[in-house]
Amino acid sequence: MPNHVSDRGGLPVMGAESPERADAALNRRRILAAAQRLFESRGVDCTSMDAIAGEAGVGKGTLFRRFGDRAGLARALVDEGEQAFQEQFIRGAPPLGPGAPPADRLIAFGEGLIDHLEAHGEIIAAAEFGPAELRLGSAPYLAYRTHVLLLVAEAAPEADGEFLADALLATLSGGQFRALRTMRGMSVARIKAAWRELVRRLLGPADA
């Protein structure tokens, strides 16, 4: 899925794709809606591409040509749901949006992403399946990385922001978050508290 840069601070923007033919756009909406229903009712791991094609009323060939595999379909669903969250950290109220110190904004970003993962973590983790280049080159990840990099550079100009941006985001990947919640039994509140501590140790105390 191509990435596009808008005037929103240079961040890649989801949903800014070339126009589709009407029939292709209709099939896309049907497939995504069917996948969302089945993923929510059965779970991602228990939903086959055959089941999604049947639910959407399209041929399996159409599904595979359009999305490649289940991970590609999950990535498309993630992209569909990312625009609202991106809008919040680009233009929303502080501390998540502009107007707060960078460390405060980074803490708020992580807490918002944690809430996003709690609501959609299974689909996001499925979207991460496959070569790392797909996840690290996806529009949502590039938007997150650019945002975190800018905040780190503002808060700690001497730090290696290129490394820290990826390192910080690695702690909040879909797979990592699911492991913390299910394998480690950590609560959302505990993960948020750990994120706050991590940011403060790296960038210094955020303003109260």
Query: pLDDT class for 125, splitting at 50, 70, 90?
Result: confident
* Whether 103 contacts 197, CB under 8 Å: no
Tens-digit pLDDT profile for residues 41-57: 888 888 899 999 999 99
Compute, in degrees rounded to 10, the torsion defined by CA atoms 52, 54, 59, 62.
-20
DSSP 45: T
Alpha helices, DSSP H, located in the chain: 22-42, 49-56, 60-67, 70-91, 102-127, 132-136, 139-155, 161-170, 174-178, 188-203
Asked whether the whole model's pTM tops 0.75, one would answer no
Gap between the Cα atoms of 66 and 76, Å rounded: 10
What domains appear along the chain, each with residue ranges and CATH number? 19-68 (1.10.10.60), 69-203 (1.10.357)
Residue 46 contacts by C-beta under 8 Å, 6 or more apart in sequence?
none
